[in-house]
Amino acid sequence: MSILVNKDTKVIVQGFTGSEGTFHAEQCLAYGTKIVGGVTPNKGGETHLGKPVFNTVKEAVAATGATVSMVFVPPAFVADAVMEAADAGIELAVIITEGAPVRDMQMAKAYATKKNMKTIGPNCPGIITAEECKIGIMPGNIFKKGNVGLISKSGTLTYEGANQVCKEGFGITTAVGIGGDPIIGLSYKQLLPLFEADPETEAIVMIGEIGGDLEIQAAAFIKENITKPVVAFIAGQTAPKGKRMGHAGAIVSGGAGTAKEKMDALEAAGVKVVVSPADIGKAVKEVLSK
């Protein structure tokens, strides 16, 4: 079992024939992801990586029955691509592109919600169900199949966390990189119940960072609804206030969104909070051997 995607999930790629889209689609195919085609306007009818190219998402969905889209289009075109996917009946759009304007994402997400399409990202590594389906840019080889679900705002911390979990002898069910932009798709609060319901997931790792209050919302949700053990790390305890730390949303503004307030809230909700990301693996071992 897993959440959201598995070995049968049919995936199309928007921005299929561009250099990023090509490179990563190739890696995903090698991992075993069922990529059934892609969309690049004016290249409809061609074949790319052995898969059909379509002019529109509607055509791609009609021809392939795809339910998930992996979005690699340049930042200025992300909102358009996401709304096109929603309009065409795609169920989940995984948006990898970095640097989409915030105003565009507000509009695109509002429309996706209206059309019942889930989104992940933007500016994220994507989603992976270990040894079944990789939709994104993460190194597939570090995700061994196992019993730990992972949700993270950061790409490399996702790899760091998953690697430690696997080194301790456990593995991953599904890992979701939700991205660190101010406006993102699925977040902790929507993903936690999916892991709670997944029979194979026995523990959950959540990795957050400074800025916004998604982790605080998650803490309140965990307290009421999650029975599985949760390990958390919040990056940016040593980040200065008012400075943007790489991610567009990673900023402590007006004294709100600090690592400390998030760590306190999670701890109060019964979450095992680690101070250093180097301790994620050990903490997972500890909660799973209880």
Partner 1 sequence: MNIHEYQAKQIFAKYGVPTPRGIIANTSDEAVANAKELGGNIWVVKAQIHAGGRGLGGGVKLARSLEEVKTLADEILGMTLVTYQTGPEGKLVQKVYIEEGADIKDELYLGVVLDRAKEMPVIMASTEGGMAIEDVAHDTPEKIIKVAVDPAIGFQGFHGRELVFGLGITDKAEQAKLISFASKLFKVYMENDAEMIEINPLIKTGSGDFLALDGKMGFDDSALYRHPEIEAMRDISEEDADEREAGEYGLSYVSLDGEIGCMVNGAGLAMGTMDTINYMGGTPANFLDVGGKANAQTVAKGFEIILKNPNVKAIFVNIFGGIVRCDRIANGILEATKMVDVHVPVIVRLDGTNAAEAAEILRNANIANVIAATDLADGAAKAVKAAKGEN
Q: Closer CB to partner 1, residue 42 or residue 276? A: 276
Q: How far is the CB of 1 from partner 1 (least distance, A)?
A: 25
Catalog residues that contact partner 1 under the rule CB under 8 A: 24, 27, 75-76, 99-104, 106-107, 109-110, 137-139, 141-142, 152-160, 163, 180, 182-183, 207, 209-210, 212-213, 217, 233, 235-240, 242-250, 254-255, 259, 275-279
Dihedral (CA of 271, 272, 275, 281) sign: negative
Q: How far is the CB of 35 from partner 1 (least distance, A)?
A: 17
> What whole-number distance in Å separates Cα of residue 193 and Cα of residue 27?
30
> What whole-number distance in Å separates Cα of residue 181 and Cα of residue 36?
29
Q: How far is the CB of 60 from partner 1 (least distance, A)?
A: 25
> What whole-number distance in Å separates Cα of residue 241 and Cα of residue 33?
41
SS3 24: helix
Q: Closer CB to partner 1, residue 28 or residue 60? A: 28
Task: Supply the DSSP string of 38-102, one letter for each residue.
Answer: EE-TT-TT-EETTEEEESSHHHHHHHH---EEEE---GGGHHHHHHHHHHTT-SEEEE--S---H
Task: Supply the DSSP string of 109-140, one letter for each residue.
Answer: HHHHHHTT-EEE-SSS-EEEETTTEEEESS-G
Residue type, 42: N
Q: Closer CB to partner 1, residue 68 or residue 216? A: 216
Q: Closer CB to partner 1, residue 7 or residue 243? A: 243
Q: How far is the CB of 194 from partner 1 (least distance, A)?
A: 21
* CA dihedral angle for residue 274, residue 276, residue 281, residue 287, rounded to 10 degrees: -10
Q: Are strands 230-235 and 203-209 parallel, antiparallel or unpaired?
A: parallel
Q: Closer CB to partner 1, residue 109 or residue 272? A: 109
- Cβ atoms within 10 Å of 141's Cβ, excluding its own: 7
Burial bucket for residue 275 (CB in 10 Å: 0-12, 13-18, 19+): exposed
Q: Closer CB to partner 1, residue 64 or residue 119? A: 119
Q: Find the catalytic residue in 34, 134, 153, 247.
A: 247
Q: How far is the CB of 243 from partner 1 (least distance, A)?
A: 5
> Active-site residue 247, yes or no?
yes
Q: How far is the CB of 163 from partner 1 (least distance, A)?
A: 7
Q: Give catalytic residue positions.
A: 247
